[in-house]
Amino acid sequence: MDRKTKLIVMIEDRTAKVGVIGLGYVGLPLAIHFGKSGFSVVGFDLDSVKIEKLLKGESYIKHVSIDPVTEMIEAGSFDVTSDFDRLKDVDCILICVPTPLTDKMEPDLTYLVETTETIARHFRAGQLIVLESTTYPGTTEEMVLPRLEKEGMTVGSDFFLAYSPEREDPGNENFSASNTPKVVGGITPSCLEVAQALYSCITHVVPVSSTKVAELTKLLENTFRSVNIALVNELKVLAHKMNIDLFEVIDAAATKPFGYTPFYPGPGLGGHCIPIDPFYLSWKAREYDFSTRFIHLAGEINISMPYYVIEKTVEALNRNRKSMNGSRILVLGVAYKRDVDDDRESPGYAIMKMLLEKGAEVIYNDPWIPRLRPTRKYDFQMESTPLTPETLAGTDAVIIVTDHSDYDFVDIVRHSHLVIDTRNATKGIEDAGKKIVMA
């Protein structure tokens, strides 16, 4: 029996062991889904804090329940470790490491390169390696494959390499890895066959002709969102000048049963995907002397939105005979989206930075993020301020950055002097005192 057939048989009868490298917002849910599907799973991560928390039955991602992890660990079907020597013990290796941007907005593949080189030192014949991290077309073939090829080891017969982009949507209760179709591309037909067999165990698989197609698929999905969000963000600014409620316009347009998909404006883009992924594509496009004008324009508009929020805040304070310098401002929510504890690339940080630069005293509240963690750009050293009537009354303005469902916006408006709403969170709330400003 050749290696491909042997591995597929092991996958189908669940005797293959799955290793997941990177136990973050993508890797941990993926490990859980494979564990629930009957596989023995080993989770790898360099962060010892994550390992300790999982072993103690504590979740470090609020929207991911620790219960299935604890059940799997107790049953002996899930193990977590920072010992990468154990990579040789697993049959399928899934790479879920960060792929951020540098300060110059260029791909930073440091984590991926280091992970690939670690795998190269420990992997063996007969294994499947799948990259899930978002990256530019050609990464799997041009960067990962050469580092894995060893003397006498041939891809497609001795080992198998594929790309399958993650499609996690943190906080989405309707879709998860178990009911979201999985796009899969292999370096060779045999690689695709093995990877397709693996992912078919947890969800419907969409096979494509190459790893490049799979890589570009992910970038198209998020560039589509970035461009459309930029469109409604730009229209929001225009609608404010025209004294038109753009959210009402969007809801009306959404009644059209064909040819339209609703997107909603906000204070800017956040998360690890939409603010970053399009720039991976635009960077790669330069290799072909091609300018991705839509991507750059969308990026400019979305990056400008925190500045617009500050502009509207300054105007609103002026109407209240207040200057930004010396005002006490409460930023409501720093997570990049509702009901998650993910603050990566959050526009809330850019807003806080500009407020501080203009002399404001800044505090924040976020029930999902009790303490601000250092990020690639910011290190605020702040803790969430309790949201009480006294806190609200003691501020000159409240800026709604994230519309968590925990928030009682009626109560927030009642006790505040001024509310800058970037999310349409105060829709339908009586505003007799003219406290609410849409931004």
pLDDT above 80 for 168:
no
pTM value > 0.85: yes
Range of weakest confidence among 37-46, 253-262, 282-291:
282-291
Write down the pLDDT at residue 105.
82
Question: Domain check: are 30 and 168 in the same one?
Answer: yes
Are 286 and 147 in the same domain? no
Inform me whether the pLDDT recorded for 375 exceeds 90.
no
Does residue 191 sit in the same domain as residue 254?
no
Short-list 130, 115, 110, CA closest to 187: 130
Q: Which one-letter DSSP state was computed for residue 439?
A: -
Q: For residue range 377-423, what is the model confidence (pLDDT) as tens digits? A: 888 989 999 999 999 999 999 999 999 999 999 999 999 999 999 99
Is 80 exceeded by the pLDDT of residue 432? no
Domain count, the chain: 2
Please state, in angstroms and rounded to a whole number, the distance separating the CA atoms of residues 191 and 337. Answer: 36
> Average per-residue pLDDT in the chain?
93
Q: Are 426 and 352 in the same domain?
A: yes
Cα(202)–Cα(70) distance, rounded to whole angstroms? Answer: 20
- How far apart CA 318 and CA 312 sit, in angstroms, is 10
The first and second tokens of residue 373, run together, are 């963690």
> Domain check: are 247 and 127 in the same one?
no
Amino acid at 429: I
Q: Classify residue 221: in a domain, yes or no.
A: no
Q: How confident is the model at residue 273 (pLDDT cuts 50, 70, 90)?
A: confident
Q: Has residue 436 got a pLDDT over 90?
A: yes
Chain position carrying tokens 């977590």: 80
Please check the confidence at residue 271 and state whether its pLDDT lies above 80.
no
User: Which domain CATH number covers 259?
Assistant: 3.40.50.720
- Do 117 and 47 share a structural domain? yes
Query: Is 321 within a domain?
Result: yes
Strands 397-400 and 419-421: parallel
Q: Which of 178, 213, 248 is the last residue of a domain?
A: 213
- pLDDT score, position 103: 79
> Residue 177: is its pLDDT beyond 80?
no
273 belongs to the catalytic site: yes
- pLDDT of 357 strictly over 80: yes
Tens digit of each residue's pLDDT (9 = 90 or more) over 117-162: 999 999 999 999 999 999 999 999 999 999 999 777 899 999 999 9
DSSP letter at 371 equals B
Mean pLDDT throughout 72-87?
A: 94
Token pair of 53 as six digits: 């928390």
Specify whether 296 is located in the same domain as 179.
Answer: no
- Whether 246 and 362 map to the same domain: the answer is yes
Structure tokens at 342: 């993910």
Local structure of residue 178 (DSSP, 8 states)? T
Q: Are residues 240 and 122 in the same domain?
A: no
- Residues for the chain: how many in total? 439
Average pLDDT over residues 273-289: 86
Whole-angstrom CA distances from 33 to 166, 198, 272 are 13, 12, 21
For residue 35, is it within any domain? yes
So what's the pLDDT on residue 377?
81
**Residue 372: burial class (beta carbons within 10 Å; 0-12, 13-18, 19+):** buried
Q: Name the residue range of residue 111's domain.
A: 3-213
What pLDDT, on a 0 to 100 scale, did the predictor assign at position 142?
A: 95
Q: Are 300 and 228 within 8 A, CB to CB?
A: no
The answer to whether residue 226 sits within a structural domain is no
Same domain, 47 and 190: yes
pLDDT at 102: 84
- What strands, in cross-sheet order, belong to the sheet with 419-421? 361-365, 328-332, 397-400, 419-421, 436-438
pLDDT over 90 (residue 63): no
> Which tokens go with 407?
């928030």
- Strands 40-44 and 17-21, bridge-based pairing: parallel
| Same-domain pairing of 247 and 204 | no
User: Is 10 in contact with 19 (CB distance < 8 Å)?
Assistant: no
pLDDT of amino acid 276? 82
364, burial (CB in 10 Å: exposed 0-12, middle 13-18, buried 19+):
buried
242 and 205 in a common domain: no
| pLDDT band at 274; cut points 50, 70, 90 | confident
Alpha helices (H) along 123-259: 139, 145-148, 189-199, 211-241, 246-253
Of 151, 179, 213, the residue at which a domain comes to its end is: 213
Structure tokens at 211: 């790893």
What are the CA-CA distances from residue 387 to residues 24, 214, 352, 372, 408 (Å)? 29, 45, 18, 16, 10
Residue 222 counted as domain residue:
no
Q: Which amino acid is at 386?
A: P
Query: Is residue 416 situated within a structural domain?
Result: yes
In a domain, 163, yes or no: yes
**What tokens appear for 37 in the block?**
């599907």
Residue where a domain terminates, one of 153, 184, 213? 213
pLDDT per residue over 179-201, tens digit each?
A: 889 999 999 999 999 999 999 99
pLDDT bucket at 93, cuts 50 / 70 / 90: very high
- Above 80 in pLDDT, residue 40? yes
How far CA 424 is from CA of 238, 389, 428, in Å, comes to 16, 21, 9
| Cα of 371 vs its chain's centroid, Å | 19
In the chain, pLDDT over 70 holds for what percent of residues? Answer: 100
Reported confidence tier of residue 318, pLDDT bands at 50, 70, 90: very high
Give the per-residue pLDDT at 431: 87
What pLDDT does 169 receive? Answer: 73
The string of pLDDT tens digits covering residues 196-218 is 999 999 999 999 999 999 999 99
Q: Catalytic residue among 92, 96, 191, 273, which?
A: 273
